[in-house]
């Protein structure tokens, strides 16, 4: 009789990361340009969209910034797209800045820098555990 081989599966806990809710009077490309200028980053429009299973499969566009040397991976998602709101519990927020990987910027300093930008009315910090959409964004 052969022995059954046991394999132990270890799952890593999902790491929480900050998400900043932004209320502003700017369009998505203008806000991306302001962020690029103020933070010296390079947001670009993603070539693919993402969809959420519970949002009638509407395709949502976003901007992204990935920098290997700085170990940064940021996403800028517009909350109101295609005549619908991505998150109705936060419908007054216009954008979400997702800081999936951030080893360069202090969150409090980043929030203060964003509040200084022309056109931004308010910035609110959240955690990735408050939202389900961050896992659907493509790198």
Q: What is the pLDDT of residues 61-117, one digit of tens each?
A: 777 778 777 778 888 888 887 777 777 778 889 998 888 887 888 899 999 999 998
Contact 18, 107 (CB under 8 A): yes
Q: What is the pLDDT of residue 22?
A: 93
Is 68 part of a structural domain of the chain? yes
Q: In whole angstroms, what is the distance from residue 76 CA to residue 32 CA?
A: 8
Q: What is the pLDDT of residue 23?
A: 94
Is 4 part of a structural domain of the chain? no
Q: What is the pLDDT of residue 43?
A: 85
| pLDDT grade for 12, boundaries at 50, 70 and 90 | low
pLDDT(13) > 60: no
Number of domains in the chain: 1
Range of the domain at 118: 18-136
Helix axes 28-39, 107-115, angle to 10 degrees: 120
Is 37 part of a structural domain of the chain? yes
Q: What percent of the chain has pLDDT over 90?
A: 18
What's the pLDDT tens digit per position in 15-44?
Answer: 778 889 999 988 888 999 998 898 888 888
Contact 93, 66 (CB under 8 A): no
Is 113 part of a structural domain of the chain? yes
Is 100 part of a structural domain of the chain? yes
Q: In whole angstroms, what is the distance from residue 63 CA to residue 77 CA?
A: 7
Is 7 part of a structural domain of the chain? no
Q: What is the pLDDT of residue 123?
A: 95
38, with CB counted inside 10 A (0-12, 13-18, 19+), is middle
């Amino acid at each position: 009789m052969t022995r059954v081989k046991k394999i132990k599966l270890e799952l890593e806990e999902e790491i929480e990361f900050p998400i900043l809710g932004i209320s502003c009077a700017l369009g998505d490309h203008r806000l991306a340009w302001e962020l690029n200028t103020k933070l010296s980053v390079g947001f670009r429009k993603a070539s693919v969209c993402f969809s959420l299973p519970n949002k009638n499969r509407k395709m949502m566009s976003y901007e992204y910034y990935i920098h290997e040397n700085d170990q940064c991976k940021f996403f800028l998602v517009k909350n109101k797209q295609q005549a619908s709101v991505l998150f109705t519990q936060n419908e007054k927020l216009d954008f979400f800045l997702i800081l999936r990987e951030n080893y360069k910027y202090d969150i409090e300093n980043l929030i203060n820098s964003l509040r200084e930008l022309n056109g931004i009315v308010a910035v609110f910090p959240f955690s990735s555990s408050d939202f389900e959409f961050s896992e659907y964004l493509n790198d």
